[in-house]
Amino acid sequence: MFKKVCLSLLMCVLAVGLFTSCKTKLNPLTSQNIKAEPQPLEMVAGKVPVTINATFPQKWFNKKLTLVVTPVLRYDGGEATGTSYTYQGEKVVGNGQTISYENGGNVVLKSTFDYIPAMHNSQLYLVFQALVGKKEIALPAVQIADGVLSTAGLLNAGSENASIAPDKFQRIIQEAHDANILFLIQQAELRAGELKKGEVTQWKDIVSQAYSASNQKVNVEISSYASPDGGYTLNEKLAEKREGNTEKYLNSELKKANVDVPVNARYTAQDWDGFKALVEKSNIQDKDLILRVLSMYSDSEQREREIKNISAVYSNLADEILPQLRRSRLTANVEIIGKSDEEIAVVASSNPKSLTVEELLYAAALAKTTDAKGAIYQKVTELYPKDARGFNNLGAIEYAKGNIAKAESLFNQANSLAGNLPQANLNLGWVALANNDAAKAEQYFGKAAGVPELNNAVGYLAAQKGNYAQAAQSFGQAATNNAALAQILNKDYNTALKTLNAVAAPNAQTSYLKAIVGARTNDLNTVTTNLKNAVKLDPSLATYALGDVEFAKFVANAAFLSAVTK
């Protein structure tokens, strides 16, 4: 009897245990219950955002269950933990979201991870901590995404061209030299005192020297005038006589000096334009009233009458303004022809000291190689140490070589010389971006107004912030890798390919970006051809491409595998 009772008790205990075990057991969740968006994950503005929709099946969520769900992004060498969410059964008292046992439930989890390059090849998991009452239940993690689309991370500030401060070299320089021969009122005779005065003598010397110089051309103009007072008919005859006398005198002087240059003579009867200009520059009483008269009336005689009616000021006009208008103006138009490109290039190499700073800077622009340009800019800093452009432009060469710290020092030196050189500020912004300091870069770019390359900087910052349409617009027609990348991220693949084909000095990244365009347009030939070239130029891209989500659908393709084989 005792044995039967004991056996019955044991059976009851086992039954209770089995019942309890069934109640605390949880079937593992699977990827069928969970969906991550976007798929694949994508890096945007330095972050990897994800929205996860999860479904708890009917009669799965134990009424005494507390479940903590955490997204975890695992990569080689580490992992990043997202935002944890707590859910609870109907008999649990707590702060979590309650899930019905009978009906199950749908939940949304959102997380954002700070991107690091290692996440390029990664997997996203949901990790669970489950308690039924006080008992911990083991639930396996569920993988819900594979890899992070990190194409935006290919933005490269170091690949941008630093801004060159331009030269002001002009091969042909136009100069105009004037001298005035004044006449007495209502007279056209040339006076000895006027012909011997310094400005006339110097003017004749300029004409002679320009005529004798092998690199100069000169022509002469004579413009003779009468002042506006005295009536149009009288003044026309007077101005004509002044022109004739001046032309006769000048031709004689040029002949004596053996100078054979064209002389173009003309006259103006009443010099109202000259009158207005002199009045505007003067401090004469009622100046504004006189100028108003000129604007109100176009008839010469009416103008003269109205101005004479201003009796308080007319005597000042007669003494200060009108005598300066009774003149013949001599103009020497001198054309100075500078050295040819060939001459400048030769002298820059053989005797740079003999060149002006503008010629040296121009010589650097002519140079064919980066090293040749750098050597000339170095000479500029030595021969013209107070010119900020030499230091800025030498810094641009160092930046192109990847010597960021040295370039930064030269850009700062340029700014110390010029106060704030716009090109140097733009370049310091690129340095800041190369050093991952976007805030500092924006400050520098704000002081680079007027620099043509500023649009590229604005485009770069927009792309970095995930504003791809704005970035593509800002880059405009720029033919750079970064401009093409902005177009790729904006899903404008035809334009991106045209941009990449127009890059002046294509490199490994240029080919890699072409391969991405091929992948996104499902063009296997474009993928393999360009990946092969990219790996040839930069072998490290072979491993990178194998883990790049951009090429996920090609990884089993023999042609693809052949292209990324070193």
Q: Strands, DSSP E only, in 270-419?
A: 327-337
What Rg, from alpha-carbon coordinates, does the chain have? Answer: 42
Task: Specify the higher pLDDT residue, 53 or 340.
Answer: 53
Predicted local confidence at residue 428, as pLDDT: 97
Residue 566: predicted pLDDT: 64
Q: How far apart are CA 165 and CA 41, in angstroms?
A: 42
Residue with the bigger pLDDT between 520 and 283: it is 520
**Residue 312 pLDDT:** 65
Determine if the peptide bond prior to 539 is cis (ω within 30°): no
Q: Residue 104 — left, alpha, or beta (φ > 0 → left; ψ -120 to 50 → alpha)? A: left
Per-residue pLDDT at 309: 74
Note the pLDDT of residue 214: 85
Express each pLDDT in 534-555 by its tens digit. Answer: 999 999 999 999 999 999 999 9
Domains and CATH numbers, the chain: 27-149 (2.60.40.10), 155-169+340-452 (1.25.40.10), 172-337 (3.30.1330.60)
Higher per-residue pLDDT: 201 or 306: 201
Q: Is 530 helix (H, G, I), strand (E, B) or coil?
A: helix
Query: What is the percent of the chain with per-residue pLDDT over 70, rounded to a whole number?
Result: 95
List the beta strands (DSSP E) in 291-436.
327-337
Which residues are bridge partners to 473 per DSSP?
A: none
C-alpha to C-alpha distance for 43 and 258, rounded to whole angstroms? 79
Across 20-29, 409-418, 431-440, least confident range: 20-29
Nearest to 124 by CA among 146, 139, 99: 146
pLDDT of residue 454: 95
Q: Is the pLDDT of residue 408 over 70?
A: yes
Say how far residue 224 (Cα) sits from the centre of its chain.
52
- What angle (nearest 5°) sits at the alpha carbon of residue 516, between those of residues 515 and 521? 100
Within a 10 A sphere around the Cβ of 459, how many other Cβ atoms?
A: 25
The pLDDT value given to residue 272: 86
How does DSSP classify residue 121? S
Task: Classify residue 319 by its DSSP letter.
Answer: I
Q: Which two tokens stand for residue 304?
A: 């003269």
**What pLDDT does 9 receive?**
37
Whether the predicted pLDDT of 22 surpasses 70:
no
| Mean per-residue pLDDT, 425-430 | 97
What average pLDDT does the structure give for the chain? 91
Give per-residue pLDDT as tens, 110-167: 999 999 999 998 999 999 999 999 999 999 999 999 999 999 999 999 999 999 999 9
The pLDDT tens digits for 499-508 are 999 999 999 9
Contacts of 129 (CB under 8 A, 6+ apart): 67, 68, 70, 136
> Phi and psi at residue 172, in whole multiples of 5°?
-115, 120
Closest by CA position to 246, among listed 291, 200, 290: 200
Q: Which residues contact 190 (CB under 8 A, 6 or more apart)?
A: 181, 183, 245, 246, 249
pLDDT per residue as tens digits for the range 341-395: 998 999 999 999 999 999 999 999 999 999 999 999 999 999 999 999 999 999 9
Q: Which of 183, 193, 178, 176 is nearest to 271 (CA)?
A: 183
pLDDT at 456: 95
For residues 91 and 14, give the distance between their C-alpha atoms in angstroms, rounded to a whole number: 25
Tokens found for residue 425: 């500020």
Pairwise CA distance, residues 54 & 126, whole Å: 10
pLDDT in tens, 65-95: 999 999 999 999 999 999 999 999 999 999 9
Task: Give me the percent of the chain exceeding a pLDDT of 90.
Answer: 77
pLDDT for 318: 79
Encoded tokens for 70 = 């955490």
Q: Which residue has the tokens 């507390």?
A: 66
The more confident residue out of 282 and 242 is 242
E strand or H helix at 148: strand 148-149
Q: How many helices (H) and strands (E) does the chain have?
A: 24, 16
Cis ω before 40 (30° cut-off from 0) = yes
**C-alpha distances in Å from residue 66, one per residue of 85, 97, 135, 406:** 11, 10, 10, 58
Query: What confidence category does residue 311 fall into, taking pLDDT thresholds of 50, 70 and 90?
Result: low
pLDDT given at position 551: 95
Task: Dump pLDDT digits (tens) for 225-235.
Answer: 998 887 888 88
Residues 360/383, Cβ–Cβ less than 8 Å: yes
Q: What's the sign of the alpha-carbon dihedral 268, 270, 273, 277?
A: positive
Residue pair 34/28 in contact by the 8 Å Cβ criterion: no
State residue 285's pLDDT score: 77
DSSP 423-453: HHHHHHHHHHHHTT-HHHHHHHHTT-TT-TT
Cβ density class 201-214: b for 16+ within 10 Å, e for less: eebbeebbebbeee
More confident call, 435 vs 318? 435
Q: In terms of C-beta density within 10 A (0-12 exposed, 13-18 middle, 19 or more buried), how is residue 438 classed?
A: middle
pLDDT at 527 over 70: yes
Report residue 45 as tokens: 């503005």
Query: How much is the pLDDT for 10?
Result: 38
Please enumerate, as own/partner, the contacts of 92-101 that have beta carbons within 8 Å and a separation of 24 or more: 92/63, 92/64, 92/65, 92/66, 94/66, 96/66, 96/67, 99/56, 99/61, 100/61, 101/59, 101/60, 101/61, 101/62, 101/63
For the record, the structure tokens of 451 come out as: 């620099």
